[in-house]
Amino acid sequence: MLKGVVLGIVLGVLLVVAGVYFYFSSGHVPVATNSPEMPLERKFAAAALHAYLDQQPHPNPQVAADEPNLLAGAKVYKEQCAVCHGLPGEPKTFMADGMFPKPPQLFRGVGVTDDEPWETFVKVESGIRMTGMPGFKEHLSDRQMWQVSVLLKHADGLPPTVKDFLTGETPAPVAVTSGAPATPAPSIATAPPAGAAKK
């Protein structure tokens, strides 16, 4: 009797494993970015992300949301984020439009202004696996990640200088123009105040 039950359970488990394997190797799993979603894909992904976020520390922002920090955050954003998350008043890039899941346009609608900065910080630091959202821990300083996080928290109420810098309508203040664009992590953290020369 017991033997039969155990055998039944083992067979049941094997069947499920075989079923999942068959599904993934059948060629019917959506791979193209414009295919429909997999069953429960978004639900599982959101559950995993929220559980991960809950486990992370929830510190207050480690930089003030003042103009120099917002400008420094805007520089990081323009160089590292805008290609996917867009700039105020600009159309989505082809790249953003061709992704799955689509990167939210952070200067349209509420963006992430309703998220606490720590939540944005964690996403920027760690990235979000299998979405295209990169983790920047190895390439941006904590300070830069906080600066871009407070920028996004205040995306709906930025000082005109910061907004103009993002839209490129005014020349960037000296403190945020320097540094070769190809350098992933110019040291904003140690940047001298606006007006001072920086290498």
Interface ranges with ligand HEC (CB under 6 A): 76, 80-81, 83-85, 99, 101, 103-104, 112, 120, 123-124, 128, 131-134, 136, 148, 152
Separation in Å, CA 195 to CA 133, 167, 184, 191, 192 = 34, 21, 23, 11, 8
Query: For 117, what's the count of Cα atoms within 13 Å in the CB-facing half-sphere?
Result: 23
**Which one, 8 or 184, has the nearer CB to ligand HEC?**
184
CB of 104 to ligand HEC, least distance (A): 4
Q: Contact 127/135 with Cβ under 8 angstroms?
A: yes
Q: How far apart are CA 177 and CA 74, in angstroms?
A: 11
CB of 85 to ligand HEC, least distance (A): 5
**Which one, 17 or 95, has the nearer CB to ligand HEC?**
95
The dihedral through the CA atoms of 33, 34, 38, 42 has a sign that is positive
**Which one, 152 or 166, has the nearer CB to ligand HEC?**
152
**Which one, 76 or 172, has the nearer CB to ligand HEC?**
76
CB of 69 to ligand HEC, least distance (A): 14
Residues 6+ apart with CB under 8 A from 56: 118, 122
CB of 45 to ligand HEC, least distance (A): 6
